[in-house]
Amino acid sequence: MSAHDAVEALRELGLSNYEAQVFVALQRLGTGSAQAVSRVSDVPRSQVYGAADDLASRGLVEVVESSPKEYRPVSLAAAREQLREAVERQHQRAFQNLEAVRNEHADRADERDVATLHGHHSIHERVASLVEEAAERVILVAGSEDLLAEQVASALRARAEEGVSVLVVTEESGVADLFADDPVRVVVASREGTGGFTGRTLLVDDATVLLSVRADDDTEPFEETALWTADTRIGDILAAYVHAGMQSGFEE
């Protein structure tokens, strides 16, 4: 990783451009004056003082009271913890504020459309929430065990224990072990039987459908993308295709 990459990474962690450049320069120097820092970075000397003092207030730099004044970075371990705690505080503050304003001007929540979402965590959460709404039956086709996160597995168990018919179709035998003591029916099918599907298919009460696919290119920004719909005409069509595909797979 180059100094430029280090600067960009620090900016993503909340440092300003000048703060990041000064901190990287001090890592290269060990200890340095404003003039020395300016010499090995793109920060004007007049701006080094303010950036270094801001870094000191963040707990990332020590100020050496000499003449001229010099600056020394804290250890990388200490800096890592300082930045981690700062990011966590920002995280908590952001979501507390979001919770406070959530649905502030919403008259109703209408989810009767086709929606898309990206990333394992978001899709795990949506699958779990849709399963929790099941009244009669749930069918989930998940090719691999890692698509059955704990929150998804817990939701499936809970609905099955409430008397909802829950069927999981997978290619991995370990999934059967995961639900060994639960009233969840697991069918371990061959790759040909599932069509070699790498994502997941969820059908809830023949009215809600979620389909996801995994990216097969490392350059993709998300490892999984899904679309889902509930109580829509397109949902009815997708549900019919899911049933037809499963029936064909089981017959084969």
Which of 48, 72, 100 is where one domain is finished?
Answer: 100
Looking at the structure, do residues 91 and 124 belong to the same domain, yes or no?
no
Predicted pLDDT at 176: 83
Q: Is the pLDDT of residue 87 over 60?
A: yes
Average pLDDT, the chain: 84
Looking at the structure, do residues 239 and 131 belong to the same domain, yes or no?
yes
CATH number, domain with residue 245: 3.30.870.10
Looking at the structure, do residues 96 and 124 belong to the same domain, yes or no?
no
Which has more confidence, 167 or 98? 167
Segment 161-189 shows an average pLDDT of 88
Predicted pLDDT at 90: 87
Predicted pLDDT at 191: 62
pLDDT tens figures, 6-55: 999 999 888 999 999 999 999 999 999 999 999 999 899 999 999 999 99
Looking at the structure, do residues 63 and 134 belong to the same domain, yes or no?
no
Looking at the structure, do residues 134 and 196 belong to the same domain, yes or no?
yes
CATH number, domain with residue 67: 1.10.10.10
Looking at the structure, do residues 71 and 37 belong to the same domain, yes or no?
yes
Domain range for 142 is 114-251
Predicted pLDDT at 45: 93
Q: Is the pLDDT of residue 111 over 60?
A: no
Instruction: Determine, yes or no, domain membership for 217.
Output: yes
Looking at the structure, do residues 19 and 72 belong to the same domain, yes or no?
yes
Looking at the structure, do residues 136 and 243 belong to the same domain, yes or no?
yes
Looking at the structure, do residues 127 and 68 belong to the same domain, yes or no?
no
Looking at the structure, do residues 233 and 121 belong to the same domain, yes or no?
yes
How many Å apart are CA 188 and CA 173, to the nearest integer? 6
How many Å apart are CA 96 and CA 82, to the nearest integer? 21
Query: b vs e for 73-89, b when ≥16 Cβ sit within 10 Å of the residue's Cβ?
Result: bbeeeebeeebeebeee
The pLDDT > 90 percentage for the chain reads 38
Predicted pLDDT at 189: 79
Q: Is the pLDDT of residue 180 over 90?
A: no
Tally of residues, the chain: 252
Looking at the structure, do residues 122 and 38 belong to the same domain, yes or no?
no
How many Å apart are CA 114 and CA 225, to the nearest integer? 13
How many domains, in total, are found in the chain?
A: 2
Instruction: Determine, yes or no, domain membership for 141.
Output: yes
pLDDT bracket for residue 172 (50, 70, 90): confident
